[in-house]
């Protein structure tokens, strides 16, 4: 640290200069992110609650109210009744809390969790932390986990089955309605990782996908407002069907205003709750349907444009993610796109390029990308 402080003007000038190195969502070149530019009301609300700390809830009852209201709204959207939960740092922490509750509830030696081969990498970290053995179940021809393979992986040591509603790489939705009877039959916890899809599927015009608390076995759902909820980071969400899950998570907090904490992160901003709450209030169901509808329209533009330019889709998009391959080297194409300023992901598992069509990705960005793609492929 330097000996003396600088003026505000100097500090801001330095920050602005450094900030210019970051990519900006508005440029429409970020095609690989599951986060997006927060809704304008999310930013205003965030500023208003910047100093609040939900880790010490007795000091911030207003923020606690917002968190409770957001959790209730999410639970209702996901067909839950009397659910409980928290806003946490993201999908990783939400998945961690779900598996921690499932493991603590099960009380077995050498606990295992059955995961789809397509599960998010957060589960690798979680299994390490919780000393859970991951047992991977294979996928079907549409890249959805195969329920028969899941059932074969279940044993006495299984503490949870996980399904994904909106996989990170292809945006497919596992057949959760077929995992539910498997979980019921074997009396195993079913967790749904809907970090991405949880704020997409309920607003889709045509797809009727069962993935939530309407299914009897679903005990917990991850759903992240900082992805398609357009809230400011960090806003992950974990919802539990039953209050008893929280009892498995509680830690005594001797010197704070409340007796217990239920999240992994201690100090956590109330601004996340405020920003999520503000987006929900500003958009309502109608607004969310419009946002998701526009993302799906742009997704179809990408899909049609890619197909007519001779690229092969890995799978028809269910949600707002498009994945494709080139006949002339997909990995190399991804590298060339990056060199030309287009931020796409290369997915080694499927040897494909993936585009996440978030709200900041507009029709004109899709057209510009498609136009540039053919040129770039020839480079
Ligand atoms: C399906 C899924 N689960 C979990 C996560 C992890 O979320 P986070 O990065 O917010 O911790 C992601 C992130 O993209 C995801 O797509």
Q: Is 313 in the pocket of ligand 1 (CB under 6 A)?
A: no
The pick from 120, 233, 320 for probing ligand 1's pocket by mutation, whose C-beta has the most ligand atoms within 8 angstroms, reads 120
- Write the residue with the smallest CA distance to atom 16 of ligand 1: 168
Q: Is 116 in the pocket of ligand 1 (CB under 6 A)?
A: no
Which structure tokens are listed for 42?
Answer: 């999310």
* Buried-state track 231-259, b at ≥16 Cβ within 10 A, e below 16: bbbbbbbbbbbeeebbebbeeeeeebeee
- Rounded to an integer, what distance in angstroms lies between the CA atom of residue 94 and that of residue 191? 11
Expressed in percent and rounded to 5, the helix, strand and coil fractions of the chain are: 45, 15, 40
The pick from 30, 90, 356 for probing ligand 1's pocket by mutation, whose C-beta has the most ligand atoms within 8 angstroms, reads 90
What is the model's pLDDT at position 207?
76
**193 CA from centroid of ligand 1 (Å):** 8
Of ligand 1's atoms, which has the minimum distance to the CA of residue 236?
A: 10
Q: Global pTM?
A: 0.98
Q: Is 195 in the pocket of ligand 1 (CB under 6 A)?
A: yes
- Rounded to an integer, what distance in angstroms lies between the CA atom of residue 95 and that of residue 221? 8
What is the model's pLDDT at position 206?
84
Asked whether 212 and 174 are in contact (CB, 8 A), the reply is no
What is the model's pLDDT at position 208?
83
What is the model's pLDDT at position 157?
98
Half-sphere exposure of 345 (CA within 13 A, CB side): 18
Asked whether 268 and 88 are in contact (CB, 8 A), the reply is yes
Which structure tokens are listed for 361?
Answer: 């990705």
Mark residue 306 as left, alpha or beta (left: phi above 0; alpha: psi -120 to 50; beta: remaining).
alpha
- Write the residue with the smallest CA distance to atom 4 of ligand 1: 91
Greatest CA separation found in the chain?
A: 67
158-164/312-313 β-pairing: unpaired
The kind and range of the H/E element at 222 are strand 218-222
Q: Enter the DSSP assignment of 197.
A: G
- Write the residue with the smallest CA distance to atom 6 of ligand 1: 91
Of ligand 1's atoms, which has the minimum distance to the CA of residue 92?
A: 11
- Write the residue with the smallest CA distance to atom 5 of ligand 1: 91
Q: Is 196 in the pocket of ligand 1 (CB under 6 A)?
A: yes
Asked whether 158 and 112 are in contact (CB, 8 A), the reply is yes
**378 CA from centroid of ligand 1 (Å):** 34
- Rounded to an integer, what distance in angstroms lies between the CA atom of residue 153 and that of residue 59? 46
375 CB-contact burial (10 Å; exposed 0-12 / middle 13-18 / buried 19+):
exposed
**323 CA from centroid of ligand 1 (Å):** 18
Q: Is 118 in the pocket of ligand 1 (CB under 6 A)?
A: no
What are the Cα distances from residue 259, in Å, to 249, 255, 256, 262? 13, 8, 7, 10
Q: Is 233 in the pocket of ligand 1 (CB under 6 A)?
A: no
Sheet with 352-356: list strands edge to edge. Answer: 312-313, 321-325, 352-356, 345-347
**173 CA from centroid of ligand 1 (Å):** 14
Q: Output the tens digit of pLDDT for each of the chain's 379 residues.
A: 999 999 999 999 999 999 999 999 999 999 999 999 999 999 999 999 999 999 999 999 999 999 999 999 999 999 999 999 999 999 999 999 999 999 999 999 999 999 999 999 999 999 999 999 999 999 999 999 999 999 999 999 999 999 999 999 999 999 999 999 999 999 999 999 999 999 999 999 987 899 999 999 999 999 999 999 999 999 999 999 999 999 999 999 999 999 999 999 999 999 999 999 999 999 999 999 999 999 999 999 999 999 999 999 999 999 999 999 999 999 999 999 999 999 999 999 999 999 999 999 999 999 999 999 999 999 9
Mark residue 173 as left, alpha or beta (left: phi above 0; alpha: psi -120 to 50; beta: remaining).
beta
Q: Is 168 in the pocket of ligand 1 (CB under 6 A)?
A: yes
Q: How many of the other CB atoms lie within 10 Å of CB of 108?
A: 12
**168 CA from centroid of ligand 1 (Å):** 7
């Amino acid at each position: 640290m330097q000996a003396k402080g600088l003026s505000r003007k100097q500090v801001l000038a330095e920050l602005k200069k450094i900030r210019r190195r970051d990519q900006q969502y508005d440029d429409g070149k970020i095609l690989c992110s599951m986060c997006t530019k927060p809704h304008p009301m999310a930013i205003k609300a965030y500023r208003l609650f910047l100093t609040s700390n939900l880790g010490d809830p007795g000091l911030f009852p207003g923020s606690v109210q917002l968190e409770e209201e957001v959790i209730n709204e999410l639970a209702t959207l996901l067909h839950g009744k009397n659910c409980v939960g928290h806003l946490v740092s993201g999908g990783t922490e939400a998945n961690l809390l779900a598996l921690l509750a499932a493991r603590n509830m099960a009380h077995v030696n050498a606990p295992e969790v059955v995961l789809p081969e397509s599960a998010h990498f957060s589960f690798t970290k979680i299994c390490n932390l919780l000393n859970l053995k991951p047992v991977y179940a294979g996928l079907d021809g549409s890249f959805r986990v195969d329920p028969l393979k899941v059932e074969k992986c279940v044993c006495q040591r299984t503490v949870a089955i996980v399904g994904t509603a909106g996989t990170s790489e292809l945006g497919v939705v596992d057949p959760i309605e077929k995992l539910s009877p498997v979980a019921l039959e074997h009396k195993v916890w079913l967790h749904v990782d809907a970090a991405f899809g949880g704020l997409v599927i309920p607003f889709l015009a045509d797809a009727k996908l069962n993935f939530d608390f309407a299914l009897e076995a679903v005990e917990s759902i991850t759903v992240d407002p900082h992805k398609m909820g357009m809230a400011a980071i960090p806003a992950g969400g974990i919802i539990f069907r039953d209050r008893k899950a929280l009892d498995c998570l509680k830690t005594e907090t001797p010197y704070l205003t409340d007796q217990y904490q239920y999240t992994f992160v201690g100090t956590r901003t109330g601004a996340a709750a405020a920003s999520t709450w503000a987006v929900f209030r500003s958009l309502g169901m109608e607004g969310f349907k419009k946002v998701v509808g526009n993302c799906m329209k742009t997704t179809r533009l990408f899909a049609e444009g890619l197909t007519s330019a001779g690229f092969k889709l890995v799978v028809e998009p269910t949600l707002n993610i498009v994945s494709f391959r080139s006949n002339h080297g997909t990995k190399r194409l991804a590298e060339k796109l990056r060199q030309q300023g287009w931020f796409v992901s290369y997915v080694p598992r499927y040897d494909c390029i993936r585009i996440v069509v978030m709200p900041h990705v507009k029709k004109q960005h899709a057209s510009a990308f498609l136009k540039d793609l053919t040129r770039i492929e020839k480079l």
